Amino acid sequence: MTGLRISKALTIAGSDSGGGAGIQADLKTFQELDVYGMSAITAVTVQNTLGVSGVYPLPPEAAAEQIRSVGSDLGVDAVKTGMLFDAGIIRAVSAEIRKFGWERVVVDPVMIAKGGAELLRQEAVLALKEELLPLALVVTPNIPEAEVLAGMAIRTMQDRREAAKIISAMGPKLVVIKGGHDGGDGGVGNVGNAVNTVNGANGEKAGNDGHEGIYERGDSGNMEVVDLIYNGGNFTELSGKRIPTVHTHGTGCTFSAALTAGLAKGLPAPEAIVIARDFIQAAIEDVLALGHGHGPTNHWAYRRRMAVSAR
C-alpha cells in the first residue's frame, strides 16, 4: 500500500450493539470498499435483530471532540451522519462540519428504527432541517423520513417527487428518497437494474412508465425497489429487484455508508450512488439470516461478487 493515497471517511452516528446498523455497519462498509473508516459516536444503543431496548446519548461535546480529534489529525475526505438523537448533538455536529469546511457530506436523517424506537427526538427535526441539511451534499431519507422532512404524506411517485423538491429547497445538492418502504407499485415495470431519467420541473417521465400508482407501505407484492434522486433540476430513478426478505436491518446505514465511501474516493455523487445501490443489493441478496428478527445485511457480499467477476 506504500505510496498509495488512502481515502478516509468519518461516520458520525449511533452504535448498534447488534452490528448491522449504525457505526458498525458504516465501518464495515467503508472497509469493504477500501476506505479507511473513522467514527464519532453520538449515542450507544442496546440493540439486536429483535429491536432497540436502550438508548444512551452522549453529551454533544463528546461528539464534537471526537470529530475535532480525527479531523485535525487524520483528515477526512468524506463524512456521513446517521443517528444524532437530539438537537444539541445536531448543533454540535453541524458546527464542526462547518468549521472544517467539509463538503462531501452525506446526511442520512435517521429517525425511527425498524421496530419503532425513536432514534431522533421529534423536537430535533427543526435543527436537522435548519442546521444540518444546508451542509449536505446528499441527503438520503427513506419514505417516512421524507414525509417528516417535507411535511406531507407520500403515497405516489409523484408525491415523492414533490417531497424531494421541498427537501431540496432546504439546501442539499442531491436528495435521494429511498424506496425500501414503498411496497405498492404493484410490481409493474423493470425487474433487474435500470436507470430511468425524468426531466424537468414538471416531472414528465422520459423512460418507461412502470413506477406510477398508489402504494401502501409494507405490501410485499411489489417486485421492484426504486430510489428517487433529485439534483435540483432533474429526477433519476434507480430501480432494482426487490428481495423478499425480513433481513433488512441497517439497509439505510449501509447504503449511505457505501455512498460516502465513493465520495471519499473522489467519485462524483451520481456515480457513488449507483455503486451504493449495487452494494446494498448484494448485501440484501446474499442473506446471512442471523438472529431471531430483522437480521443484518451481508457486508462482504459485494466484495466477494467483485472478486468472482474479476476472475
Ligand X SMILES: Nc1ncnc2c1ncn2[C@@H]1O[C@H](COP(=O)(O)OP(=O)(O)OP(=O)(O)O)[C@@H](O)[C@H]1O
Ligand Y SMILES: Cc1ncc(CO)c(N)n1
Coil/strand/helix, residue 50: coil
Other Cβ atoms closer than 10 A to 144: 13
CA of residue 145 relative to chain centroid, distance: 11
Using CB under 6 A, pick the residue from 40, 139, 198, 284 that binds ligand X: 284
Q: Rounded CA gap, 237 and 205, in Å?
A: 10
Kindly indicate which of the ranges 3-11, 66-74, 174-182, 190-198 contains the residues binding ligand X, using the contact rule CB under 6 A: 174-182
Coil/strand/helix, residue 237: strand
Q: Which does 83 bind (CB under 5 to 8 A by kind): ligand X, ligand Y, none?
A: ligand Y
145 with 111: CB under 8 angstroms? Answer: yes
Kindly indicate which of the ranges 143-151, 239-247, 249-257, 270-278 contains the residues binding ligand Y, using the contact rule CB under 6 A: 249-257
Name which of residues 109 to 138 contact ligand X (CB under 6 A): 114
Q: Using the rule CB under 6 A, is 11 a contact of ligand Y? A: no
Q: Return the closest-CA partner of residue 255 out of 229, 225, 276.
A: 276
Q: Largest Cα–Cα distance in the chain?
A: 54
Q: Using the rule CB under 6 A, is 64 a contact of ligand X? A: no
Residues 6+ apart with CB under 8 A from 209: 189
Q: Using the rule CB under 6 A, is 252 a contact of ligand X? A: yes
Name which of residues 24 to 63 contact ligand Y (CB under 6 A): 45, 47
Cell of 156: 405516489
Q: Which does 234 bind (CB under 5 to 8 A by kind): ligand Y, ligand X, none?
A: none
Q: Which does 68 bind (CB under 5 to 8 A by kind): ligand Y, ligand X, none?
A: none
Q: Return the closest-CA partner of residue 122 out of 102, 95, 148.
A: 148
Q: Which is nearer to ligand X, 91 or 121 (CB)?
A: 121
Using CB under 6 A, pick the residue from 8, 178, 205, 211 that binds ligand X: 178
Name which of residues 94 to 123 contact ligand Y (CB under 6 A): 110, 113, 119
| Minimal distance, residue 309 CB to ligand Y, in Å | 29
Catalytic site residues? 178, 248, 250-253
φ/ψ (deg, to 5) at 42:
-100, -30
Per DSSP, the residues of 71-105 read: HHHT--SEEEE---BSHHHHHHHHHHHHHHT---E
Q: Using the rule CB under 6 A, is 281 a contact of ligand X? A: yes
Residues at the site binding ligand Y, with contacts judged by CB under 6 A: 13-14, 16, 21-22, 45, 47, 82-83, 110, 113, 119, 250, 252-253
Residues at the site binding ligand X, with contacts judged by CB under 6 A: 21, 114, 142, 178-181, 225, 227, 240, 242-243, 245, 248-253, 255, 277, 280-281, 284
